[in-house]
Amino acid sequence: MAKAKKLPSGSWRVLAYVGKGEDGKRPYKSSVADSRKEAEYLASEYVHKRKKENKDENLTFRQASDQYIESKSNILPPSTIWG
C-alpha cells in the first residue's frame, strides 16, 4: 500500500494504484483526509472493495474461455478462435 503524503494545506493524500487501464495508462485513486491513518484507511478500503467486486468465484471453464476469446477476438486470427 502506498504511503500518505502531507499536502501544503495540511491534509494527507494517498494514491492507490487501480490497475492498468484500457488505454495502457496507470490510473490511481486519490484519497484525502485530515489525518494520515484515515487517508491510508480510505485508500485500503477502496482497494479491498474493488478486489472483492472483481472476483468471479463461480466462473466455469466455458465462461472463462468465452471471455478470453471475446477479449482476444481482434488480435487472434479466425482459425485460432475456431480451433
Length of the chain: 83
Euclidean distance between CA atoms 71 and 62, whole angstroms: 14
Give the structural domain span for 16: 5-82
Average pLDDT, the chain: 83
Give pLDDT, residue 11.
94
pLDDT in tens, 3-32: 889 999 999 999 988 877 778 888 888 989
Please write down the long-range contacts of 49-58, taking CB distance under 8 Å and 24 or more positions apart: 50/18
DSSP state of 24: S
Q: What is the rounded average pLDDT of the residues 59-68? A: 82
Q: How many domains does the chain have?
A: 1
Residue 27, C-beta contacts closer than 8 angstroms, at least 6 positions apart: 18, 19, 21
